[in-house]
Structure 1
Amino acid sequence: MSAGLSFEPLTPVAYLDRAASAHGDRIAVIDGARRWTYAELRDRCRRLAGVLAARAQGRPVAVLAPNTHVLLEANFGVPWAGVPLVAVNTRLSAAEISYILAHSEASVLIHDPAFDGLVSKLDTKPETTIRAGEEYEALLAAAEPFAVTPDDERSLLSINYTSGTTGRPKGVMYHHRGAYLQALAMVGHTGLSPSSVHLWTLPMFHCNGWCFPWAVTAAAATHVCLPKVEPAEVWRLIREEGVTHLNGAPTVLSMLAYAPEAAPVDVPVRVATGGAPPSPAILRRMGELGFDVTHLYGLTETFGPAMICDWRPEWNGLDADAQARLKARQGVGNMIACQARVIGPDGGDVPADGASVGEISLRGNNVMLGYLKDEEATRAAAPDGWFRTGDLGVVHPDGYVELRDRSKDVIISGGENIASVEVEQALADHPAVLEAAVVARPDERWGEVPAAYVTLREGAKAGERELIEFVRERLAHFKAPRSVEFGPLPKTSTGKIRKYVLRERASGERA
């Protein structure tokens, strides 16, 4: 009997074949005034593969674009051309992008016209550049459809670069098998179906959009492209396009929850959030508006969300505050992942007592192949076959993991460990606080003390002493911030707070 009868290498681009076959006449993509069906999307992606196959010469294709149909199409067309995709962070500098293009050895760069100026400043450019718009459309129109699929499902699908906050960004290598399975997990956990409408509030360049370009397509749901997250536009699209799903960092939730346009939705919207623990306060607010928030946890190295706060029906009877505290947990491994471990200093698993702290460690089908051209970093990240995340957490008696802090974000004050997340969530409970970040500030007596950086809600007022006392009423006094600075917080392109910038600021203030 032929092995081909019962085995087909897994690849996420196969989801578009299925969607075009079963739902070809239904709307696949909404991008402004433009609409494409699934049959049209498949044709465009295969023509893109035809454009790229000869030009790529077996090397990666980079795309510098916001959340438009171009980047969505690249998630299918580039792999169909038989080469890896490099989706470039649109907020990087010319020097950073030049490094990524050189390190990945990209042969083609597709870029949005919005980045013409940035592309002109690049020190390193691939042999071929394609400008989205007229040039891109003309090439697609003239191309012959093309598609190859991998013989090895663990072959290289895409290269996603880390933020590089502590050095040069590392190229995280994704495989076809991991993306296929991760997309399937996202369909299952978020309840995507052909009637779903997914709004792209999460950057597609971030972990390939948590594998949702493939997940939404697997469900034959509708993609609604959004080049820039503006609360008023998000609320308009939610109402006019019937959005049922969206993803984003907690800061995106804050933007939506307290926007002038915010009002309870007619149809519940399922939201997946990650990047930082959402505060119970923002979870309560989103619940009041009709948003069903699920907390996810993962990293670039794990294809995005490797863990999920899997909601238990018996929690439905709890009060809103108790539910919000449970929703803030990172949870358990997703349905295609291995169960996470929390490893203590002795190398063993910490007890499931909700108090013993260890490092969250992961392995499984949704873990990277390794770092491109960096075997030393790959070995260091997974010294014993378990990927060390650098995040510290505890395991509750029910088996759910809760993040306590990044290992580098723990504040050690007078020999006592202070989890910055705990202090941030206490601050976020204050009615005037929109979001907060807490970092270590050098102190001659205690070594380190907490320093808070706070953004207030529009029109709200609160002073430094008021917020410090507010935290002291809820936590041990030594955990309360010694200082509070007000203003916008520095963030990455995916909405994560740049704590290293705040640490440098706090150290500079002390000096």
Structure 2
Amino acid sequence: MEGIVLCSANYVPLTPISFLVRAAFVYGQRVSIVFGNKRYSWKETHERCIKLASALSQLGITRGDIVAAVAPNIPELYELHFGVPMAGAVLCPLNTRLNVSTLALKLEQLESKAIFVDYQFLEVVQDALELLSHTKGNPFLVLIQGEINCLNSIPEKRLNYDTLVSKGKLDFNIVYPNSECDPISICYTSGSTGNPKGVIYSHRSTYLNSVGEIFRTGMRQMPVFLWTVDMFRCNGWCFPWTMAAMGGTNICVREATGITILNSIFLHNVTLFCGPPILLSKIAETLPVDPRTLPHNVDVIVAGPGALPEPQIQTKLEDFGFNIVCAYGMSEALGPVTSTLWNNLSTDEMSSFDFEEDKVQVCEGAHNLIMEGVDVKDPITMESVASDGKAIGEVMFRSNSLMLGYMKNVQETKETFKGGWYRTRDLGVKHPNGYIQMKDRRVDVINCGGEILSSLEIEKVMARHPMVLEAAVVGRPDDLLGEIPCAFVKLKEGYCVPDEEILNFCTSHLPEKMRPKSVFFGDLPINSTGKVQKFVLRDRLREKCR
């Protein structure tokens, strides 16, 4: 159309870097980070990140270079979320629970120019670097030392974090992205179905998802966020950048225990925290020891590996002052995509709502502000399945907040985006009110005589048994039906029950086809993010069936 001009006046590439620049100006004296006795203001955090970016530039880190980090939820890792992209580089926060060989494989793929390491993980990182091919040289190692004196055993190419920051210049010119679609970070998937993949995020997707978190969570003014979700997990669901946008306060902790969570709420007036469902169990175990009522309602968003605790425990937490929201998402979508109040999860309950507000809250689990499309489709025809709560299809997304692709894996990226939608590989159904209910991973469903059974639904029932700590169900080969359910159970400490008791419990609560036909007791194989590796269990069954 005549008269349109696109220039620097009306088009600036979106980047969450701008959130920190604004925070320093608008919220300069407000507390940005609290970690033990340490406190920083937004002005101080901005200055530290500028100096960090400057120091990285002095090390030779330039546009597009990768900077890795192995650290818990501490202020230094928070600063890296801004300082690294301010230098034009790409941040890759790595899982702190990786073993030496897995960490070495990731570092070899990344070819990072520098790696920031918290003192807790120095030994495993050094061992991983020893396994790397030395043809391209190892990255600079920057130690996040804290109060610990452990410099004696650091390799020659070493630096100290605080020393590095002190060398930076405040007049450093931030390296903004040439395009908002330039990469800003890489985070690895959990690898629940096999080999973890490096997911590449753009400045644009992280900017939009960070803003989306404000609306998705109904974030209040001056939020106080407790860091219980790992920053290496989808960049902490984008909350490092969201908190800067809101000028809120970050409460950093090394370990999220029930006591730590409750103490932080009372001490710092925490308003929101997130993470896997096990957080709820940790809090519930602590309540008898610390029965104080919360000073105000606290929002909790849970998503990821592990089952929700029993309804009575969730009710107890709600009565105590927690607003529990259950979410569903994945690394490729920067974390949670859909969410709903936990007590709205029942299909029967959803059909009996009297208030329009309740219906809106549940439908939020189907489509939020940032997602352009959330649907359940036939993966072959790409037609939407019927909204009857019965027809099963693949859950698919379309959004500006999705990943750019998988690092060094073009073919896998093309397959994932085939048909113009992101294919989650999760199966689900769509209810008449638009609510999407996830049934199971596509690779984990059990095809029993042509009927698709959800392993997750069977596991939820088994988890209600008072002696069961965790259960995993997979399909066992069967000559007549193709597959039949088989359960692997880890009992609570100190308990011992015969398999007949578990099978009888299932008989009382499940229809015939969904009842496991055999039970094996013992520890379940889990990966570094706490997800059960069902492919390992299937391999075990194949061995038993030979």
TM-score (norm 2): 0.85
Partner of 1:127: 139
Separation of aligned partners in 2, 1:486 and 1:167: 23
| Structure 2 CA distance for aligned equivalents of residues 288 and 457 of structure 1 | 26
Change (3 A) 1:167 1:461: closer
Match of 1:143 in 2: 168
Q: Distance in 2 between matches of 1:245 and 1:330?
A: 19
Is 2:77 the counterpart of 1:42?
A: no
1:467 alignment partner in structure 2: 502
> 1:8 maps to which residue?
12
The corresponding residue for 1:449 is 484
- 1:133 Cα deviation (Å)? 2.2
- For 2:297, the equivalent position in structure 1 comes to 268
SS at match of 2:15: coil
Q: Report the Cα distance in structure 2 between the residues aligned to 1:356 and 1:343, rounded to whole angstroms.
A: 10
SS of the residue aligned with 2:386?
coil
State the Cα distance separating 1:163 from its structure 2 match.
3.2
Q: CA deviation at 1:300?
A: 1.1
Amino acid at match of 2:337: A
Aligned counterpart in structure 1 of residue 411 of structure 2, from 353, 376, 379: 376
Match of 2:439 in 1: 404
Alignment-mate amino acid for residue 92 of structure 2: V
Residues 1:402 and 1:353: Cα distance change in structure 2 (over 3 Å): same
Map Cα deviations across residues 449-482 of structure 1 (whole Å, 9 max, x no partner): 2233345566778654333333322321221223
- Please list, as runs of the form range in 1=range in 2, the aligned pairs for 1:339-418 lying within 5 A after superposition: 339-344=373-378, 345-418=380-453
The 1:241–1:453 alpha-carbon spacing in structure 2 relative to 1, beyond 3 Å, is farther
How far did residue 57 of structure 1 move?
Answer: 3.6
| 1:72 aligns with one of 71, 78, 87 | 78
Separation of aligned partners in 2, 1:27 and 1:417: 52
- Asked whether the 8 Å contact 1:441–1:503 carries over to 2, the reply is yes
Give, in angstroms, the shift of residue 367 of structure 1.
1.1
Distance change in 2, residues 1:110/1:372 (3 Å): same
Question: 1:104, CA displacement in angstroms?
Answer: 2.0
Note if 1:153 corresponds to 2:180: yes
CA deviation after TM superposition for structure 1 residue 167, in Å: 5.0
Q: Which among 214, 227, 233 is matched to residue 206 of structure 1?
A: 233
Aligned residues: 508
Which residue of structure 2 aligns with residue 178 of structure 1? 205
SS in structure 1 of the partner of residue 423 of structure 2: strand
Separation in 2 of the partners of 1:291 and 1:458? 28
1:296 aligns with 2:296: no
Instruction: Report the CA distance between 1:165 and its aligned residue.
Output: 5.0
Find the aligned partners of 1:425 and 1:285 in 2 and give their Cα distance: 19
* CA offset digits 1:89-143 (Å, max 9, x no partner): 1112222222222222210111111111112212236331111126111111221
Please state whether the residue corresponding to 1:184 is helix, strand or coil. Answer: helix
Task: Report if aligned partners of 2:377, 2:393 keep a CA contact under 8 Å in 1.
Answer: yes
Cα separation, 2, equivalents of 1:425 and 1:287: 20
Counterpart for residue 275 of structure 2: 248
Q: C-alpha separation between the residues in 1 aligned to 2:36 and 2:518?
A: 45
Larger radius of gyration: 2
DSSP 3-state at the match of 1:10: coil
Residue-by-residue CA offset, 1:382-418 (whole Å, 9 max, x unaligned): 1111111100000000001000000111012333321
TM-score (norm 1): 0.90
Partner secondary structure for residue 214 of structure 1: helix
* Conserved? CA contact 1:249–1:495, under 8 Å: no
Residue pair 1:202, 1:494 contacting (<8 A) in 2 also: no
Q: Contact between 2:446 and 2:475, CA under 8 Å: does it hold in 1? A: yes
**Number of the residue aligned with 1:86:** 92
* Number of the residue aligned with 1:331: 365
* 1:295–1:327 contact (8 Å) kept in structure 2: no
CA contact (8 A) 1:295 1:330 kept: no
CA RMSD of aligned residues (A): 3.1
- Structure 2 stretches lacking a partner, 5+ long: 147-159
Decide whether aligned partners of structure 1 residues 353 and 96 sit closer, same or farther in structure 2, where only a CA change above 3 A counts.
same
Is the Cα–Cα contact under 8 Å of residues 156 and 174 in structure 1 kept in the other structure? Answer: yes
Aligned pair partner of 1:425 in 449, 460, 474: 460
Give the whole-Å Cα distance in 1 for the aligned partners of 2:420 and 2:18.
30
Point out the more displaced range, 380-389 or 126-135.
Answer: 126-135
Shift in Å, 1:37: 1.2
Q: Is the 8 A contact 1:295 1:329 kept in 2?
A: no
CA contact (8 A) 1:294 1:327 kept: no
Higher alpha-carbon deviation: 326-335 or 212-221: 326-335
Q: List structure 1 runs of 4+ shifted beyond 6 angstroms.
A: 310-313, 321-324, 326-330, 458-462
In structure 1, the residue matched to 2:154 is: none
**CA-CA distance at 1:258 after TM superposition:** 3.1
- Counterpart CA distance in 2 for 1:63 and 1:419 is 37
- CA deviation digits over 1:235-263, x for unaligned, max 9? 32233222221111123323333345464
Question: Residue deviations 1:270-311, cap 9 Å, x none?
Answer: 111112564663644542443212122221111112223379
Q: In the superposition, relative to structure 1, how do residues 470 and 285 fare at CA in structure 2: closer, same or farther (>3 Å)? A: farther
Query: Pick from 221, 225, 237: which aligns with 2:248?
Result: 221
Mapped partners of 1:167, 1:403: distance in 2: 20
Deviation at 1:365, TM superposition (A): 0.4
Moved more, 100-109 or 117-126: 117-126
Partner letter of residue 383 of structure 2?
Answer: G
Match of 2:108 in 1: 102
CA deviation string 1:418-447 (max 9, x = no partner): 101111222233445444332223345544
1:30 is aligned to 2:34: yes
Amino acid at match of 2:332: E
Q: 1-side partners of 2:377 and 2:219: how far apart?
A: 34
Native 8 Å contact 2:366 2:435 kept in 1: yes
Change (3 A) 1:67 1:507: farther
The code of the aligned residue for 1:49 comes to A
What is the letter of the counterpart of residue 303 of structure 1? L
Matched-pair identity in %: 36
Distance in 1 (alpha carbons) for counterparts of 2:497 and 2:353: 26
CA gap of 1:274–1:330, structure 2 versus 1, over 3 A, is farther
Question: Do the aligned residues in 2 keep the contact of 1:109 with 1:126 (CA within 8 Å)?
Answer: no
Query: 1: distance between equivalents of 2:469 and 2:283?
Result: 11
Distance in 1, matches of 2:281 and 2:183, equals 36
Report the CA distance between 1:488 and its aligned residue: 5.0
Is the counterpart of residue 19 in structure 1 residue 27 in structure 2? no
